[in-house]
Amino acid sequence: MKRLLFLFLLNGVLVFSISCNSKQTDKSVNQDSIAIQTTDSTSATSAQADTTNNQVSLQTQAKENFPVVFVYNFHVTNRCPSCIAIEEATTKTINTYFANELKQGLLKRQVVNVDDEKNAKIAEKYQAFGSGLFVTRVYEGKEKTVDLTSDGFKLARNKETKFIEILKNAISSSLKK
């Protein structure tokens, strides 16, 4: 009985890991030093970030003294339905609730293919070797990151509304002074 249970669990893990690499949809970010890609339904712009000391080179933060929040959506080249659902729900959340913050430069979004060598530094920093979703707040020279990867995998496909609420709350609290 124990062997059967073990084999069943092992099979589930293998199926999950294989499925996470089975569907191919590549939305890699082309970046030089690490360009932050703001994503909304109408346009995409870039602003440079210094990844050595994690200081955001945005005049908005320096002049107005507001936190800047980065949403990093990591993925591999071959993506599973859950990975795609996480990205789609994240896009939906940002476009629905944070369009003004995107326009003001207070919220930045980056979709990162970890298989692309250009993204090695940022992937290593977040220890993202596969799918991952991180909300990082940069304020007064300090950085705080919330890892929402497990919530994304648990909820984005089948309980999108709950996942969107969790992500919305994480971004909202990160945007507060």
At 76, the pLDDT band (50, 70, 90 cuts) reads: very high
Query: 2-175 has which fold?
Result: Glutaredoxin (3.40.30)
User: What values do phi and psi take at 11, rounded to 5?
Assistant: -60, -45
At 66, the pLDDT band (50, 70, 90 cuts) reads: confident
Task: Report the C-alpha gap between 38 and 41 in whole angstroms.
Answer: 10
Determine the distance from the C-alpha atom of residue 128 to the mean position of all C-alpha atoms in its chain, rounded to a whole number: 10
Q: What does pLDDT average to over the chain?
A: 75
